[in-house]
Chains A and B, each alone.
Chain A
């Protein structure tokens, strides 16, 4: 079993939809969780950062961590065509250690 599992999609939604992206992980020691967005032929960019359990909101984006279920989510409200990208989850267990990435979910938002 891979340490981090992420459904690759693709996921296609209409503009304005609520999008839910998810990752599961196997290492209960993970406590730092991040979401990256990667546009086609570009490098990933940090979108959200969460420590331990709970929710974090930034504009239309909400990151949620459920450590008891080893499950993290990214919600996008009022999705826009500009949200079309690949979304990668990433995590690590100790501050400063290298991140472990999911394989990414490709999202397409149609106008």
Chain B
């Protein structure tokens, strides 16, 4: 029972480097989300995909891009990492209807 799988779990980047955070779910959920969690700021929505083939900006999209590769996979890309993007990134998914999210275990990213 994998649920939502995020890779990598930890990453250190230098300023200006790029990387892609991977997320995959095996629950046949339609909607997928990327959040970042910072001390004192809570969970903030970066991007989301209500269904395969669609993506929309959330509260803090600047500096990020996303790809909904198929129904299972939703990736988050940092094109030119900045220290302000040091955070814990969570991917989540939800089936059609208003149910709670299932979260992955997170990616801890440090940009130096």
Closest to B88 in A: A41
Q: Is the interface of A mostly helix, strand, loop or mixed?
A: loop
**A to B contact number (C-beta, < 8 Å):** 48
CA distance A99 to B86 in the complex (A): 23
Q: Which residues of B contact A42 (CB under 8 A)?
A: 105-106
Does B2 sit at the interface, judged by CB under 8 A?
Answer: no
A92–B43 CB distance below 8 A: no
Does B40 sit at the interface, judged by CB under 8 A?
Answer: yes
CA distance A43 to B106 in the complex (A): 6
- Within 8 Å by CB of A96, from B31, B35, B43, lies B31
Interface residue tally on A, bucketed by range: 20 to 34
Closest to B50 in A: A96
Does B74 sit at the interface, judged by CB under 8 A?
Answer: no
Q: Known: A32-B98, A44-B103. Is A98-B42 also a contact (CB below 8 A)?
A: no
